[in-house]
Amino acid sequence: MPKKGKSDYERPALVLKALAHPTRLLILNSLKKKETCVCELRDLVGDDMSTVSKHLLVLKNAGLVAARREGNWLNYRLTCPCVLDFADCIAKLGK
């Protein structure tokens, strides 16, 4: 196995970075239960809808969520529900 360098960790770092925000963890936790539209997530987190939309873009770029349009609504869902197992585990890590 070749020795690993910084560049081998860029992709995982990107995913971790996407996870590393309280609002995004809250969003992901909500998506774990069910597909949810942006306006519902806005009510959940209490920020401006544009802010929520930006967070969702970050998650999408990291490949953690995907969207499906249904009429006027965009319903977001987890692409890989297992992400939150890490998050829960890390929560325990942090005492």
Partner DNA sequence: TTGCTATTTTGCCAAATTGCCAATTACTTG
Partner DNA sequence: CAAGTAATTGGCAATTTGGCAAAATAGCAA
* Interface ranges with DNA (CB under 7 A): 17, 20-21, 23, 37-39, 47-58, 67, 69, 71-75
| Residue 38 contact, options DNA, a second copy, none, Cβ 5-8 Å cut-off depending on partner type | DNA
**31 contact choice in a second copy, DNA, none (CB below 5 to 8 Å, kind-dependent):** none
* Helices 49-61, 38-45: inter-axial angle, 10-degree rounding: 110
Give me the 26-65 binding string for a second copy, x by CB under 8 A, dash otherwise.
Answer: x--x---------------xx---------------xxx-
Name the one residue in this structure whose structure tokens are 């996870």.
Answer: 19
For residue 82, the number of C-alpha atoms closer than 13 Å in the C-beta half-sphere is 1
**67 φ/ψ angles, rounded to the nearest 5 degrees:** -115, 150
Residue closer to a second copy, measured from CB, 15 or 74: 15
- Residue labelled with tokens 């006027």: 72
